[in-house]
Amino acid sequence: NAGVTQTPKFQVLKTGQSMTLQCAQDMNHEYMSWYRQDPGMGLRLIHYSVGAGITDQGEVPNGYNVSRSTTEDFPLRLLSAAPSQTSVYFCASSLSRTAYNEQFFGPGTRLTVL
């Protein structure tokens, strides 16, 4: 198993550009989520999905879109990048949507918006 994979590892954008951060898992996990990590703030939940076709907002959803057309993939879209979105982005997955499951994290994408 590759676990949770993310691409790209690094990305530099200019303000206003759009891009998609890819996330995939090969563990047949039901639940997937996106977090952003900022210095001194820990990780904050952006969006999550409890299954294919079902997504919802987390703590900091503004400026981001998600979709989940398959169990395996959960891409995060930045429609118009802003410097405030400079961060490290982590995708995570767990077997079930319930609160009793370990979440497995991907290696992260470091995004800089100029």
Partner 1 sequence: AQSVSQHNHHVILSEAASLELGCNYSYGGTVNLFWYVQYPGQHLQLLLKYFSGDPLVKGIKGFEAEFIKSKFSFNLRKPSVQWSDTAEYFCAVVLSGGYNKLIFGAGTRLAVHP
Nearer to partner 1, 84 or 96 (CB): 96
Between β-strands 19-25 and 4-7, what pairing exists: parallel, antiparallel or unpaired? antiparallel
Contact positions with partner 1 (CB under 8 A) in 29-88: 31, 33, 35, 40-45, 48, 50, 58
Name which of 26, 13, 18, 39 is nearest 106 in CA terms: 26
Nearer to partner 1, 66 or 81 (CB): 66
Name which of 8, 3, 20, 7 is nearest 81 in CA terms: 20
CA distances from 89 to 19, 37, 53 (A): 13, 6, 22
The CB-of-77 to partner 1 minimum distance in angstroms stands at 20
> Which span (11-19, 60-68, 79-87, 99-107) binds partner 1, by CB under 8 A?
99-107
Q: For binding to partner 1 (CB under 8 A), which residues are involved?
A: 4, 31, 33, 35, 40-45, 48, 50, 58, 90, 92, 94, 96-103, 105-108
